[in-house]
Amino acid sequence: MLIFRLDAPLFFANAIIMRDRLRRLVLGADPPFKVIHLDLEANSEFDLEFADTLAELREGLDREGSELWLARVHAPVREMLDRTNLTDRIGQEKILPSVHAGVEAYQQRVSPTGGSP
């Protein structure tokens, strides 16, 4: 699992930079990441450029065999995810209230008995 925390809000000017940085991290990983967990706490707004970039990122990760999970999604961002159909495309179960919840869900997936992966 790769946890990627954003220290600034994403918008049209830096969304592609984030997407390309994540792609480089994923492509260079050995062994490959199964889950990329994106912490969106710094984002209280969400524009269409970021929605498009997030959709492209999700599709690219799917092709690489990785999943995109989201954490700490504020209500306005969640509303935009719903309006742009990204909630359904990402999967409701992959939008989590915290990074910790995502780590626990990932650990449960890789080790159903609750042990360390």
Kindly report, residue by residue over 47-99, the tens digit of the pLDDT.
888 888 889 989 989 998 999 999 999 999 999 999 999 999 999 999 999 99
pLDDT at 50 (0 to 100): 83
The more confidently predicted of residues 114 and 81 is 81
Distance CA 111, CA 83 (A): 35
Written as one letter, the residue type at 27 is L
E-strand stretches of 6-97 = 35-39, 67-71, 95-96
CB 90 within 8 A of CB 68: yes
CB 61 within 8 A of CB 36: yes
CATH of segment(s) 2-110: 3.30.750.24
